[in-house]
Structure 1
Amino acid sequence: MTSTAQRNTAGRDTRRRDVLIVGGGPAGLSAALTLARARRDVTVVDAGEPRNATAEHMHGFLTRDGMPPRALLEIGRTEVRGYGGEIVDGRVVRAEGDDDGFVLTLDDGARLRGRQVLVTTGVADVLPDVPGLRDRWGREVQMCPYCHGWEVRDRRIVVLATSAQSLHQVTLLSQWSPDVTLLTGRAPEGEDAARLDARGVRVVEGEARRVVVEDDRVTGIELADGSVLGCDAVFVAPVFAAKDGPLTDLGCEFGDDGFVKADATGRTGVPGVWAAGNVVNPMGQVVLAASAGATAGAMINAELIEAEIAAKLAA
């Protein structure tokens, strides 16, 4: 197998792998593990930018609850390599088809070839422009109640209203704490107001000016009028921006939501191109991303087998 050093020095790698995977998170590594165990020649290209990089722990993953996210990735890499899978640290700057599959161009100039491509690049979470919010992202500032609600149970929680999704988010969080506040520029009315009242959610009209931090902990949200809304945790529904560059390069179709169209197995509308994980489902937790990757890996192997049978029969 060609080493990373040899590949980068030469800038050429003529080996055509069975599968190229773009993205080395839970989805990509799960797919790689499935494919490597199926004795496929698989390479994962990982830019090293996990979505949950700032989180100290991940939750909701049976047998791995509370594990640091990077520890999961390190173990996953070791397992993939144990079955002969290759992992390349780098960024894909261009993806294109050729006469016999696909070619990925990396930021160091290397070109990798493969029969099939799986994209598991995830999403970027775009937060409201509130000073201090990004600095605490993954710590006291969170998105998912199921991922982090237990850790802030019975504490003061503020939800920054950013969209209609915030109403769903705040009602969920009332399951974990009796002290939940919705900070919004315009108070909900009618049925929405009644639903919040039924869950004991307090509503404060105002604009967030900055996150207040004392002794390296969030203690409140300063409002535009200078007052401070005390809290121990902040939840916000970010805008999801898919890291879909390779999928765009390869001509995949996207839905009205801005995300690639793929079926339940990860198959896109472009033959040989697959997508799994948060690049398809931005709301999926780690365990769901891993499951989607394993499913895609199995289906890719099955498709390769069918192609090999067809080639033998044609010959």
Structure 2
Amino acid sequence: MDTQLYDTVIVGGGPAGLNGALYLGRSRRRVLLIDSGDARNMAAGVMHNVLTNDGATIADFRARSRAELAAYDVTFRDDEVMSAGCDGGRVVVTTKKSGTFHARTLLYAAGVRSALPAVPGLADLWGRAVFECPYCHAWEVRARSFAVYGGTVPSECLAATLTVWSEDITYLSDRRVLPRDERDRLVAAGVPVVADGISEFKPHAEGVEVIFEDGRSAAFGALFLHLDIEPRVDPLRPWLQAPDLESVQADERGRTSLPRLYVAGDLGRNMQQAAMAAASGGLAGMAINADRPARLPTRAAAPAARPLSARRPSPQPREPFAMTSPRAEFTPHMEHYTFVLEDQPYLGYFQYGNEKTPVYTTDRHGFRVTPGPAGLQASVGDDRPDGPARVLAGSSAVFGVGATGDAATISARLWNAHAPRLPWLNIAGQSHNSAQELMLFTLFLHELPPVEDIVLVSGVNNLVLSRLPEEKQGRHGAFFDCGPAPDVVPPPERRVAHAAELTLRHLGAWKTLADGLGARLAFVLQPLAPWVREEPLPREKLLFEELDEVSNFRRFHNDISTMAVGRAYADRLAAGCAGLHVPFLDMNVALADVAGPEDWLFIDRVHCTDLGYDLVARQLADRLDLA
């Protein structure tokens, strides 16, 4: 049983529920979305009339929506709701597999069921050649012959509407006697009626074949019909005490006559269209937020006195998780790595300054503070060393995402244990490509003390971003927030070549800067879990599988998550570093050499545990002669 209290439980993971979750998540609400995965429109496969998603597959739309919602306090459960009611001022929702959940409000967006006429073959063609909505499907079959089935539900208005897409329309009444007004509307629309009984529908090269009871047949490009619908409100029956939600809906924002119950999507008072459903979910989210201004405490409070217009979610957000999850059991501190990033000129985004959480501290610029021996600490903005220092640069792994505290980061382990001769400065952002890493160092170069060594730990983000098309890459690589990844991507060898060229080109600029500072430069290919071990430890596997439910890493990057790709990438980088006279270290090989078979190294595929970061620091010191 999940014992935490949610601001809102949302039932239904279609456009209405997802958009409601987005509005509430962005309103700093704690949300649980429960979805059974059997939406009515799944048979159609694709969605239309939604800008930027016209023609997108429904599965892809849902996956991308969940990935975007991971930036907020939204938790997902793939389960079926068995009952929902109100008890003592709390909403109580019971599911088939996951148990019982409690919330302050319920947004019900479970949709409706369609009842197809009981004509053989019709169900098999549903979503392929048999459709209900002309605005969703008629364009794809335009100018073909259409049949409109009116044998159970009168569909003469649908037939008249379809004359926009086809001039050859036949109305099939299937022996139903048409009222005069229905027949008159068909005559006015110029649609002929075939009253013969129908025995079967079959697939046909044109679309659909109608087999009549007398043995005759006729082929059409598509068949359209209106359907009887059934509201999916069974779990609400004891609370609802009404046949449907529309009868208790109080206004256009989804409020109902029942306190704490809100409705959105096809169940409410709106056209049954994806765009309208999404809009109704947003309106309901706004209503919930307005009706209940007090909110539950957030998992990670955003910095005070920052303008909301300046905030943005991390391009690689850390997913919130339920208290019963493996992440909650093994890595509870990860709740504090739910970053809110600040818009920054040139960089795109960076951490806020002067943040102190239970696991990390940033200086006035947003750099993570490195604690040292005897109570000392070092950072670019607040505790700049008086004498020479060393720089550890890179992205989120260098920042130390996954470490249980500042003292467990790579830079801290170097200064305190493995390379303690000089202070170490942590110069790292979140989700930066190699151009952003270079820009970050350059922008703060004037504030650095004398630098003896620069260790750049990088490489993975460029390879991850190589999935995006060329128009998103620009001259210096794609960013993490420049658009959804495409379904068709270059093969791994092309991705490796592109990422290596980009990384080495920017490394040449690092070399020029280091030479000007009189500093030694080394490049380290950062560790990626599948490049270190072919099989994760059982604990790591549980964590990875949970993350895969709410993130896109495995779906989008499975092709590069092999030992062979990691070695090929390392070979290209090693050759390029040799040409630049920059020492190179593949940390994946280094970790594989020294880690014990039971050493827990990764909290996700990119970020390490405290032990993992300590081993990384030790290998840097030993193999780059930093001790």
TM-score class, shorter-chain normalisation, is 0.7 to 0.9
Distance between the aligned counterparts of 1:77 and 1:40, measured in 2?
A: 16
CA contact under 8 A between 2:148 and 2:224: conserved in structure 1? yes
Residue in 2 that maps onto 1:7: none
Distance between the aligned counterparts of 1:202 and 1:226, measured in 2?
A: 20
Distance 1:246 1:281, change over 3 A: farther
CA contact under 8 A between 1:143 and 1:237: conserved in structure 2? yes
Task: Look up the equivalent residue of 2:259 and give its one-letter code.
Answer: P
Task: Look up the equivalent residue of 2:38 and give its one-letter code.
Answer: E
Distance between the aligned counterparts of 2:269 and 2:62, measured in 1?
A: 20
Residue in 2 that maps onto 1:155: 144
Task: Look up the equivalent residue of 1:38 and give its one-letter code.
Answer: S
Distance 1:244 1:117, change over 3 A: same
Distance between the aligned counterparts of 2:60 and 2:269, measured in 1?
A: 23
Runs of 4 or more above 6 Å deviation: none
Task: Look up the equivalent residue of 2:226 and give its one-letter code.
Answer: A
Task: Look up the equivalent residue of 1:103 and give its one-letter code.
Answer: V
Distance between the aligned counterparts of 2:190 and 2:182, measured in 1?
A: 13
TM-score (norm 1): 0.87
Map 1:16-55 → 2, pairs under 5 A:
16-55=5-44
Unmatched 5+ residue regions in structure 2?
297-627
Residue in 1 that maps onto 2:255: 267
Task: Look up the equivalent residue of 1:98 and give its one-letter code.
Answer: D
Distance between the aligned counterparts of 2:150 and 2:234, measured in 1?
A: 30
Residue in 2 that maps onto 1:213: 203
Q: Does 1:198 align with 2:188?
A: yes
Unmatched 5+ residue regions in structure 1?
1-11, 309-315
Residue in 1 that maps onto 2:3: 14
Map 1:218-257 → 2, pairs under 5 A:
218-254=207-243
Map 1:92-103 → 2, pairs under 5 A:
92-103=81-92
Give the superposition deviation at 1:219.
3.4
Give the superposition deviation at 1:283.
4.1
Distance between the aligned counterparts of 1:192 and 1:144, measured in 2?
A: 20
Task: Look up the equivalent residue of 1:30 and give its one-letter code.
Answer: N
Distance between the aligned counterparts of 1:155 and 1:300, measured in 2?
A: 46
Distance between the aligned counterparts of 1:307 and 1:42, measured in 2?
A: 11
Task: Look up the equivalent residue of 1:222 and give its one-letter code.
Answer: I
Q: Which one has more relative contact order, counting CA pairs under 8 Å at least 6 apart?
A: 1
* Cα shift readout 1:262-297 (whole Å, capped 9, x = no counterpart): 121111111000111012247410000000000000
Higher CA-based Rg: 2
Task: Look up the equivalent residue of 1:277 and give its one-letter code.
Answer: G
* Cα shift readout 1:160-194 (whole Å, capped 9, x = no counterpart): 10456401111111111011000012464655434
Distance between the aligned counterparts of 2:143 and 2:212, measured in 1?
A: 23
- Which moves more between the two structures, 91-100 or 174-183? 91-100
Task: Look up the equivalent residue of 1:54 and give its one-letter code.
Answer: A
Distance between the aligned counterparts of 1:68 and 1:136, measured in 2?
A: 18
SS of equivalent to 1:72: helix
Distance between the aligned counterparts of 1:238 and 1:294, measured in 2?
A: 27
Distance between the aligned counterparts of 1:165 and 1:254, measured in 2?
A: 23
CA contact under 8 A between 1:211 and 1:221: conserved in structure 2? yes
- Within the candidate set 264, 281, 291, 1:293 is matched to 281
Q: Which structure: greater helix fraction?
A: 2
* Percent identity for Structure 1 against Structure 2: 35
The number of equivalent residue pairs is 294
Give the superposition deviation at 1:55.
0.9
